[in-house]
């Protein structure tokens, strides 16, 4: 690799392959998935209790809470971060507990998160992690852990069960979770690794295109600003293999698409992606990434990021800026790239409100429906009738999407 770039290649943003390979528990963390999520008073959800699968599509209208639902998993990742992590910081970063706790919460002001982690969606959990917290009251603005419990399959007693005697002696201990502390999470480090390795992606093509030197890249690069640098920094054989998988996957969805290649500008040293199309006018001509359509760039970013790690991926609205014909292929493209990479088990949770994305048959059990009510949003999986309709050939768009429409909005004709 000859590309020498400034701050983009700092370890903080782009952990090297060696680094991210990590400990044995980190490796184990990648072969697990979140199989159930239970929440109390989290943002616009008063109560949630839903199963999750290897691919889960969270569908709901605007402001129904799709991003809020993903945020609980980002929150867990933030708590478990090795540098600058922790419960207090994760809450602070979200504007404090009052922003985070459900406004519809009535007498019970505690926020609770319960996550089950399994080998696959249908097996019993290996780990159960529960965290509950609330403000201390008495004018102090501290948030205190009210419960933190870790259970492991095969163990009759919890691995961790707080508050314990020490917590009672020293209330300050309850400002921290055990999972954020190396000294107290040794027995369930695998769970901390799992949460920490979660990737969140909300690709913004403008940022991918005009990646100005010196522009600050958000931590973890959720918006894809550093995509070209990431590609540049990847060792050639891996880079070529990834680009090849992307090209194969794109070719199925974009009929004129021909080839994809990486090049480093000889004068400036800047990395570039080039694509060619089988088109009579542009045959043989290469298009550079700043000429790509926004949608194409987002799709490339997504297909690249799918291959960068094997841990939980949270993906926001992949349909944006893409035409419907391509959007319909997104679930298949995700599967195809992961299968070729032998990482088919990687859990991907996708938020969407796209009719096109949900127009092809999907496993009906993989869909999570968000329905706003005056009392917060309700999250649920498809019921037996809906599952039956989908197994008979109706698409999730036909069966489920109409149910995500906020009541009364039809009369306005907004979505007509
Ligand atoms: N603590 C909270 N209690 C109740 N509602 C909240 C809370 N925090 C955010 N919201 C509401 O959640 C909605 C935004 O949800 P969001 O996840 O961004 O929706 P989506 O991603 O589906 O468009 C907004 O209407 C906002 O007012
Ligand atoms: Mg959103």
Read off the pLDDT of residues 207-249 as tens digits, 9 standing for 90 and up. Answer: 777 655 556 777 778 888 888 888 999 999 999 999 999 999 8
Specify the pTM. 0.89
Strand partners, 262: 273
State the pLDDT at residue 134. 94
State the pLDDT at residue 18. 39
Counting ligand 1 atoms within 8 A of each CB, the residue from 44, 64, 75, 316 with the most, and so the one to mutate, is 44
State the pLDDT at residue 101. 95
Which atom of ligand 1 is nearest to 68's Cα?
Answer: 17
Name residues of the chain where pLDDT drops below 50.
1-22, 409-416
State the pLDDT at residue 216. 74
How is residue 389 written in tokens?
A: 């309709």
Q: How many angstroms separate the alpha carbon of residue 171 from the centre of ligand 2? A: 37
State the pLDDT at residue 240. 96
Q: In angstroms, rounded to a whole number, what is the distance separating the alpha carbons of residues 187 and 204?
A: 39
Q: Are 279 and 256 in contact (CB under 8 A)?
A: yes
Counting ligand 1 atoms within 8 A of each CB, the residue from 68, 106, 368 with the most, and so the one to mutate, is 68
State the pLDDT at residue 227. 87
């Amino acid at each position: 690799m000859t590309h020498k770039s400034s701050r983009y290649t700092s370890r903080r943003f782009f952990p090297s392959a060696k680094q991210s390979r990590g400990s044995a528990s980190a490796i184990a963390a990648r072969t697990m998935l979140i199989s159930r999520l239970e929440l109390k008073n989290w943002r616009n959800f008063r109560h949630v209790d839903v199963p999750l699968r290897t691919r889960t599509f969270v569908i709901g209208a605007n402001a129904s809470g799709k991003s809020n639902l993903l945020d609980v998993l980002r929150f867990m990742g933030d708590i478990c971060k090795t540098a600058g992590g922790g419960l207090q910081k994760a809450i602070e970063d979200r504007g404090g507990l009052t922003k985070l706790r459900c406004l519809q919460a009535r007498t019970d002001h505690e926020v609770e998160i319960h996550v089950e982690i399994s080998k696959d969606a249908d097996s019993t959990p290996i780990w159960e992690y529960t965290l509950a917290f609330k403000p201390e009251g008495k004018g102090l603005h501290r948030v205190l852990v009210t419960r933190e419990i870790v259970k492991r399959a095969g163990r009759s007693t919890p691995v961790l069960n707080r508050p314990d005697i020490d917590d009672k002696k020293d209330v300050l201990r309850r400002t921290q979770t055990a999972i954020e502390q190396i000294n107290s999470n040794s027995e369930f480090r695998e769970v901390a690794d799992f949460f920490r390795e979660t990737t969140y992606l909300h690709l913004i093509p403008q940022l991918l295109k005009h990646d100005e030197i010196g522009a600050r890249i958000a931590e973890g690069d959720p918006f894809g600003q550093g995509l070209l640098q990431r590609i540049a920094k990847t060792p050639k054989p891996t880079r070529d293999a990834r680009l090849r998988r992307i090209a194969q996957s794109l070719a199925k969805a974009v009929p004129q698409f021909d080839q994809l290649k990486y090049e480093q500008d000889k004068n400036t040293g800047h990395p570039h992606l080039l694509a060619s199309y089988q088109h009579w006018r542009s045959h043989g001509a290469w298009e550079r990434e700043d000429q790509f359509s926004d949608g194409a760039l987002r799709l490339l970013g997504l297909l690249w990021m799918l291959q960068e790690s094997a841990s939980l991926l949270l993906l926001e609205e992949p349909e944006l800026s893409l035409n419907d014909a391509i959007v319909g292929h997104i679930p298949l493209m995700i599967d195809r790239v992961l299968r070729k990479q032998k990482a088919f088990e990687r859990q991907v949770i996708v938020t969407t409100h796209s009719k096109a994305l949900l127009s092809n048959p999907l496993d009906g059990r993989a869909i999570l429906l968000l329905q706003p009510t005056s009392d917060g949003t309700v999250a649920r999986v498809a019921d037996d009738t809906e599952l039956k309709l989908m197994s008979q050939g109706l698409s999730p768009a036909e069966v489920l999407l109409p149910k995500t429409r906020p009541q009364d909005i039809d009369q306005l004709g907004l979505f007509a």
